Amino acid sequence: MSRITNIANLADIVVKMIRYNLKIIFANRFIWFLLGAVSFYIGLTLIYVFTEDVSRIEDLYGIFVFCGILLVFYPTVFGIQNDQDARTIEILFGIPDYRYKVWLVRIILIYIITFVMLLAFSSLSSFLIIPMPVLAVTYHVLYPVFFLGVMAFMLSTIVRNGNGTAVLMIIFGLFFLILQEPLETSKWNVFLNPFTYPDDISETAWANIVRDNRIILLISIIVFLLAALYKLQKREKFI
């Protein structure tokens, strides 16, 4: 009986934490980035539907990536500053190890929302524009989106200012975009499009490049997340 009670209490705490963090995520300007991603997708989808200008999945990959970046940009860049402005960060640092759980739950929720939205976008595109493996497309789109999102979160723990972090992320984003063309078929390309099949590379070699690229991005995501959580130990830096 006590075990059932403990599970019920834990579930109640988890539900309350999720509700609390959803309120924070959807507060302030995030809703505008959400609407921006939806509007951007709907606008281009209408153009493609009526002009039939898209014939390949690779043409839609960049659109999904951009929509995903819009979805994760605000909560990862301005999340800590919003806590500082609301003075809730003092409460978080007042409870040992609690801040890690709160921000981890928040990041997980952000990415769940992003995954659901991207899955909806790819499903709709598969129905309206061109048939595609919806889960595979969404899976690959999440890598650069998660990479940039966790990178933004890490930078926010260093800069501790949303506007400053946003400027740095724009600079890094432009840097990655500039490198996209010279690194188009390289495993080091952050925006590597796995649905582009180069004529001068065999399918096996291309599959290996895509696999290595995903491993590099995944390791980077883990390193950025651990670095961000480590920076959050510096209580005096945030309060």
- Residue 55: the pLDDT is 54
Tallying the residues shown for the chain, one arrives at 239
- Residue 29: the pLDDT is 66
CA distances to 39, 52, 105, 115, 213 from 122, rounded to whole Å, are: 15, 17, 25, 10, 22
Question: 57 and 126 in contact (C-beta within 8 Å)?
Answer: no
For the chain, which residues make up each domain, given as ranges?
28-238
- Residue 236: the pLDDT is 47
What is the per-residue pLDDT across 167-196, written as a single tens digit (0 to 9) for each? 888 899 889 888 888 888 888 999 998 888
10-residue mean pLDDT profile of the chain (239 residues): values are: 61 64 63 75 75 65 88 78 57 55 78 89 84 89 93 87 85 88 87 84 88 94 89 61
CA distances to 47, 53, 185, 210 from 118, rounded to whole Å, are: 19, 21, 24, 20
Crossing angle of helices 58-86 and 162-180, in 10° steps, is: 160
Q: How many CA atoms lie within 13 A of 62 on its CB side?
A: 8
Give me the amino acid identity at 208. Answer: N
- Residue 12: the pLDDT is 64
- Residue 40: the pLDDT is 76
Q: How many CA atoms lie within 13 A of 183 on its CB side?
A: 16
Cβ atoms within 10 A of the Cβ of 172, count?
15
Question: 48 and 124 in contact (C-beta within 8 Å)?
Answer: no
User: Which one, of 18, 31, 223, lies nearest residue 106 by Cα?
Assistant: 18
Q: Count H helices, E strands: the chain?
A: 9, 0
